[in-house]
Amino acid sequence: MTNVSMTVNGKAVSREVPDETLLSEFLREHLRLTGTHVGCDTSQCGACVVHVNGKAVKSCSTLAASLDGSQVTTIEGLANGGLHPMQQAFTENHGLQCGFCTPGMIMTSVDMVNRYKADGKELTAQAIRGELAGNICRCTGYHNIVKAVEDAAAKM
Amino acid sequence: MSTGIGARVQRKEDKRYITGKGKYTDDVRNESQAYAAFVRSPHAHANVNGIDTSAAMAMDGVIDVLNGQQLTGDGIGNIICGWAITSKDGSPMNMGAWSALATSKVRYVGDAVAVVIAETQALARIAAEAVEVDYEVLPAVAASDKALAGGAALIHDNAPGNLIYDWEIGDGAATDAALAGAAHVTELAVTNNRLSPNAMEPRAAVATFDECDDHYTLYTTSQNPHVARLVLSAFYQVAPENKLRVIAPDVGGGFGSKIFIYPEEITCLWASMKTNRSVKWTSDRSEAFITDAHGRDHITTAKMGFDAAGKIVGFKVDTIANFGAYMSLFSSSVPTYLYATLLSGQYNIENIHCNVRAAYTNTVPVDAYRGAGRPEACFLVERMMETAAREMGKDPTDLRRANFVQEFPHQTPVIMAYDAGDFGANLDQAMAAADVAGFAARKAESAGRGKLRGLGYSSYIEACGIAPSAAVGSLGAGVGLWESAEVRVNPVGTIEVLTGSHSHGQGHETTFAQIVAERFDLPLENVSIVHGDTDKVQFGMGTYGSRSGAVGMSAIVKAMDKVEAKVRKIAAHVLEASEDDIVIEGGQVKVAGTDKAMGWHEVGLSAYTAHNLPPDMEPGLKEGAFYDPANFTFPAGTYICEVEVDPETGVTDIVQFTASDDFGTIINPNIVEGQVHGGIAQGIGQAMLEQVVYDDDAQLVTGSYMDYAMPRASDVPSFSVHHASTTCPNNPLGMKGCGEAGAIGSPPAVINAITDAIGSNDLAMPATPQAVWNAIQAAK
Amino acid sequence: MDMSGSYRIGAPRQAVWTALNDAEVLKLCIPGCEEIEQTSPTTMTARVVQKIGPVKARFNGAIELLNVNAPQSYTIKGEGQGGVAGFAKGAADVTLSEDGGETVLEFEARAQVGGKLARIGSRLIDAAAKKVARQFFDNFHDHLNGKDPPGD
Ligand code: FES
Ligand code: FES
């Protein structure tokens, strides 16, 4: 067992967990933040993406213990009250159907837009598709997800 | 902004999904939750000579280890296929026994032999590893044609030669004669590749037995909770229906794979009773690849005959369908009544004959996956049309047009009676949107860059709105396929609609509310949709076969008709007017041409206070209805795919994908277009990427997202989606259904485009760069 | 999966043969071998740890020598259960021929994997098997030349 302390969605948390606990398990099972989803076991689908110290990370392939002291943001904590422009854009553009991939899609997309803005690069539809390489959606065919990210990028 | 029929309303359910508050089955955790892990066979075919659970039982935190002998000993029934198909010699299909936990023999890699119940999921999985199973390995077979060939391993004793049925439809002699007299006959052999549905939410179940009430509650990832309850009760004898509540909360995609009732749900319910604990199981992805029913897997040869003018005179088809190791719930209907009945396509064909043999193999059971039978039919027919056009030197659109059904209703020789459509209008619309006229110039431009450009068509038709109960009953279905609804107007005038349809991404909470809000002219937020819980909803047959609109919404309309009739009676009584003069609008119930009116909510309140109701009227304002469709519905359309192939590498880019669909009435275009996008992406996946592969020993070798290629954002283009609609005459809203069209119509368009580009017709799905490159080389 | 190859080993044939039949030598040379026990002149049991792609498995297996034609050739057949990882089995026909003072070892092997190993690791099996084979023969060559692999 290891003690893991981190800040999750702005709140300090500390839990005694088995050494091999993944961040996804830590969030879902220990903190009961079930918005972060697990869709695969080979780090391929991106349903589990959260932000660690502001960067998108696949929580299914990160040990909770390795993040002691980190700042973690999950879909539940993305907006402080109201909706983040990315969340808004996903619903306005019908960028989700079953919603299972959605938290990971949104967390990945927020990070994507932030990076492009920081680098002063233009986020084209093609770039968005490339950047979403690590996120699988089986429902939407990506069409409206790409639209949503373009839309949010203009507003963020 | 309008929120009624045809409005692009934002989805009501989105808020919880985009904020991480959706509640999926794996998010459920009960007090003192116990966890299940299954011990699964690594062998494709083996006798189970013994199971040693002692090491697992000795582990700390292991509650119990249960096996198939105990399961069957407790009277849990075998898993059945609910659609009886009769072979052409009159014999019934050969259904082999399928116990939720194998008793003496395993028949595919992944077949469960035991289950460990433990205090944590990790512990359950570790303990499952410690269960020692003594397997006596038997020869195995994965391919359906090999399974049917003499000498293959026998999988079920009661299915000699591994043959489940040998079925036919249509007039064989007449078709042969027509082909013999044809001016041109095109022959084609196609394989419809085996797919894994891969809803992003893995299946899960949480089963809780309540000893005091002798009652079970099951949370499960289901497209049809009532069907699950019915089957779990009636066939698997887990518990009587009144002692079993099935809840399907938010469901993260299904595409058919969550219709069926699987061994895991049965086992969790039973194990909950055995251990007196709430038992939870969540599949991981690699487990999903070996437990979720697969889709497609047909091998087909066919001949189509044409007269000198290019009219089709006959179509003869021979198909082998792979059913895997056991018959899943609706497996038998897929390659028969959902496939062969659509072989007429959009065309007027007088003679059709199709023979289907279904085979057991040592693979995961195969059942309905998005489109179910119809994509197989469409792929064959549309590849055939394109191939024939090329052989006869005709333009593929001319050949299609010359054969389109023009008059409705149209009776095909394979059961279906098409009720409405305008196939030419969809083809025209798609051709205009795809700028087919400019294709030659684009092709020349590509050629200048050393690339091969191609254009491919697919004019699909499907039968949806599944299905008229008496009709499917006469064809062997074990259930009726109506839908039910209840519309409850509360005393304050808000409305709850309880529906047996169950959304797993389709947005019912929005579209269903739209038709109610429009009908009673109320704000959308005053209408709530209740679904997915057998304790709340009266009954239902669930969501599949693009039926929630055409069947589910029709049931709501029927219930609304009754509500409206009662509202009129109450208002006429209170306002002292004639029922015929009552109009419902703007939140009021008024007498036409007067200023007499009462608020909608006042009618609701009157119904419940019952102080002043017409004589003999019962209090309350809630009405239920069951709607049984009069016919299937027939969504149709034309898809055009334009590709650019790099001849050096075989890498294929879809540069444009255009769809023109006829779905009848559209309630919410956003949602309909989203269904088309997703369907097309899955169809492109089938055409270019996806393939479940078994090796010669029937070992699955594509068991993860590293090995099974799923379409990612950069694999698909943006889609150009259009509608040219005719109204369905057979249901009150005129709807046809839109959930499967994309997956049905797109694969042949893609393959027709690639084969057009490379100038070789010999290309199977999935058309990976390697396959395309090989086809180019072979044609040189 | 099929695999074949030939190795030149800097030792006389008899020495190679003896070593190939010596459980201790095999234990030293088989990559990941934790334990080997001779149960009869032609049978052994072994425990080997292998990592193939994302799947790590400890195989408990039985090894059997067939068609023994000393000091020229035999068939070595193995079968291992790797728990949830699945199973692996295979056989190799091994032939030794003399060439000067050295020995040329040729083999033809067939292997099969099942369960999770097949599902997730099959793309990697060929490469992994070749690597294991090469390591084995490198170790074996070194052993016969007095350089034992770094023990674990
Ligand atoms: S769950 Fe993390 S990548 Fe799939
Ligand atoms: S919305 Fe269902 S997987 Fe993306």
Residues of B in contact with A72 (CB under 8 A): none
Residues A66 and A90 in one domain: no
Element (H, E) at B494: none
Nearest C-alpha in B relative to C117: B701
Residue A44 with chain B: CB contacts under 8 Å: 704-706
What domain range includes position C62?
2-144
Query: Which residue reads 């599902």 in tokens?
Result: C119
Question: Does C119 sit within 8 Å of B700, measured CB to CB?
Answer: yes
Whole-angstrom distance, CA of residue B763 vs CA of residue B219: 44
Note the CATH number of domain B298-467+631-779. Answer: 3.30.365.10
Q: Which H helix or E strand runs over C150? A: none
Picking from B110, B101, B121, the residue whose alpha carbon sits closest to that of residue B61 is B121
Cβ-defined contact of C119 to B43 (cutoff 8 Å): no
Cβ of C122 within 8 Å of Cβ of B704? The answer is no
| Judgement on whether residues A149 and A91 belong to the same structural domain of the protein | yes
For chain B, what is the largest distance between any 2 Cα atoms, rounded to a whole number of angstroms? 87
Indicate yes or no: CB of B18 within 8 angstroms of CB of A128. no
Q: Which residues contact C140 (CB under 8 A, 6 or more apart)?
A: C9, C19, C25, C29
- Identical fold, B298-467+631-779 and B482-627: yes
The domain tally of chain C equals 1
Query: What CATH number has the domain bearing residue C75?
Result: 3.30.530.20
Q: Mean pLDDT in runs of 10 for chain B (780 residues)?
A: 88 96 97 95 96 96 98 96 96 97 97 97 93 95 97 96 98 98 98 98 98 96 94 92 96 96 97 98 96 98 98 98 97 97 98 98 97 97 98 98 97 96 98 98 98 98 90 88 94 95 92 95 95 92 86 94 97 96 95 95 96 96 94 96 98 98 96 97 98 94 93 97 96 94 98 97 97 95
Q: From chain B, pick out residues whose CB is under 8 angstroms from the CB of A45.
A: 200, 285, 705
Q: Is the domain of A105 the same as that of A151?
A: yes
The CATH number given to whatever domain includes residue A10 is 3.10.20.30
pLDDT value at position B627? 92
**The two structure tokens encoding residue A85:** 């422009």
Q: Is the pLDDT of residue C152 over 50?
A: no
Site to substitute for ligand 1 among A28, A50, A60, A105, most atoms within 8 A of C-beta: A60
Task: Indicate whether C31 pLDDT > 80.
Answer: yes
- Mean pLDDT score, A139-154: 98
Largest CA-CA distance found in chain A, in angstroms, rounded? 46
The residues lining ligand 1, judged by C-beta closer than 6 Å to any ligand atom, are: A 38-40, 43-48, 58, 60
Instruction: Identify whether the C-beta of residue A47 lies closer than 8 Å to the C-beta of residue A40.
Output: yes
Shared domain check, A148 and A96: yes
Is A137 near chain B, with CB under 8 Å? yes
Domain residue spans of chain B: 33-138+201-252+258-291, 298-467+631-779, 482-627
Phi, psi of A130 (to 5 degrees): -65, -40
Cβ atoms B141, B698 nearer than 8 A: yes
Which subunits have 3 or more CB–CB pairs within 8 Å of chain B? A, C
Chain A residues with CB under 8 Å of B202 CB are 38-39
Structural domain that includes position A94: 85-155
- What is the distance in angstroms between the Cα of A38 and the nearest Cα belonging to chain B? 8
Query: 3-class DSSP state for residue C72?
Result: coil
Strands (E), B266-375: 279-282, 295-306, 312-322, 352-359
- For residue B681, how far is its CA from the centre of ligand 1 (angstroms)? 21
For β-strands B495-499 and B582-585, DSSP reports them as: unpaired
Q: Is A79 domain-assigned?
A: no
CATH 3.90.1170.50 fits B33-138+201-252+258-291, yes or no: yes
Atom of ligand 1 nearest to the CA of A136: 4
Give partners of C (≥3 CB pairs < 8 A): B
Would you say C118 and B695 are in contact if contact means Cβ atoms under 8 Å apart? Answer: yes
**In a domain? residue C63:** yes
Report the length, in residues, of chain A: 156
The answer to whether the CB atoms of A41 and B716 lie below 8 A apart is no
Contact B713 A146 (CB under 8 A): yes
| Adjacency order of strands within the sheet including B622-627 | B527-530, B495-499, B483-489, B622-627
Give A-chain residues touching B20 at CB under 8 angstroms: 33-36, 74-76, 103
Q: Are residues A138 and A101 in the same domain?
A: yes
Residue C149 within a domain: no
State in words which class domain B482-627 has. Answer: alpha beta
Classify residue C150: in a domain, yes or no: no
Is the CB–ligand 2 distance for residue A98 below 6 Å? Answer: yes
Does residue C78 carry a pLDDT above 60? yes
Under an 8 A CB cutoff, do C122 and B289 touch? no
What CATH number is given to the structural domain containing A125? 1.10.150.120
Question: What is d(CA A126, CA A131) in angstroms, rounded to the nearest whole number?
Answer: 9
Q: Given a cut of 80, is residue C54 above it in pLDDT?
A: no
Q: Cα(B651) to centroid of ligand 1, in Å?
A: 27
CA atoms of B780 and B648, how far apart (whole Å): 13
Same domain, A63 and A114: no
pLDDT-derived band at A33, boundaries 50, 70, 90: very high
Encoded tokens for B59: 């582990």
A5 touches chain B (CB under 8 A): no
Sign for the pseudo-dihedral over CA of A123, A125, A126, A129: positive
Residue A142 lies in a domain: yes
Tens of pLDDT, residues B117-171: 999 999 999 999 899 999 999 999 999 999 999 999 999 999 999 999 999 999 9
> Which residue does chain B place closest to C121, by CA atoms?
B701
Cβ neighbors of A55 (< 8 A, separation 6 or more) are: A111
Distance from CA of A21 to the nearest CA of B (A): 10
Task: Tell me how many domains chain A contains.
Answer: 2
The DSSP output letter for B86 is: B
What is the distance between the alpha carbons of residues C140 and C143, in angstroms, rounded to a whole number? 5
Q: What is the pLDDT of residue C53?
A: 67
Q: Specify whether A149 is located in the same domain as A94.
A: yes
Distance A136 CA to ligand 1 centre (A): 9
Higher pLDDT, C146 or A47: A47
Q: How far apart are CA B543 and CA B248, in angstroms?
A: 12
The domain boundary, picked from A74, A93, A114, lies at A74
Cβ contacts (< 8 Å) between A58 and chain B: which residues? Answer: none
* Predicted local confidence at residue B636, as pLDDT: 98
Query: Does residue C22 form part of some domain?
Result: yes
Q: Beta-strand (E) ranges in B681-726?
A: 719-723
Give the number of other CB atoms < 10 A from CB of residue B628: 16
pLDDT tens digit sequence for B53-106: 999 999 999 999 999 999 999 999 999 999 999 999 999 999 999 999 999 999
- Residue B437 sits at the vertex; the CA angle it makes with B431 and B439, to the nearest 5 degrees, is 100
The partner residue sitting opposite B22, judged by closest CB among A33, A99, A129, is: A99
Whether C120 and B286 lie within 8 Å, measured CB to CB: yes
Which residue has the CA at smallest separation from atom 4 of ligand 2?
Answer: A137
Name the residue of chain A whose CA is nearest to B740's CA.
A139
Work out the minimum CA distance from B230 to partner chain C, whole angstroms: 34
- Please, are residues B67 and B101 in contact by the beta-carbon 8 Å criterion? yes
Give the phi and the psi of residue B198 in degrees, each rounded to 5: 60, 50
Q: Classify residue C152: in a domain, yes or no.
A: no
Tell me which of B38, B109, B364 to substitute to probe the interface with C (most C C-beta atoms closer than 10 Å).
Answer: B109
Asked if the structure places residue A93 within a domain, the reply is yes
pLDDT in tens, A109-127: 999 999 999 999 999 999 9
Token digits for B686? 């089938």
Provide the token pair at B147: 């399974």
* Cβ neighbours of A75 in B, within 8 Å: 18-20
Q: Is the ipTM of this complex over 0.90?
A: yes
Please state, in angstroms and rounded to a whole number, the distance separating the CA atoms of residues B130 and B114: 12
For residue A73, the CA-to-ligand 2 centroid distance in Å is 21
CB neighbour class for B578 (10 Å; exposed up to 12, middle 13-18, buried from 19) = exposed
Cβ(A13) to ligand 2 under 6 A? Answer: no
For chain B, the residue count is: 780
C83 interface with B at CB cutoff 8 Å: yes
Residue A54 included in any domain: yes
In a domain, A140, yes or no: yes
Q: Determine whether the shortest distance from the Cβ of A140 to ligand 2 is under 6 A.
A: yes
Which of A36, A55, A74 terminates a domain? The answer is: A74
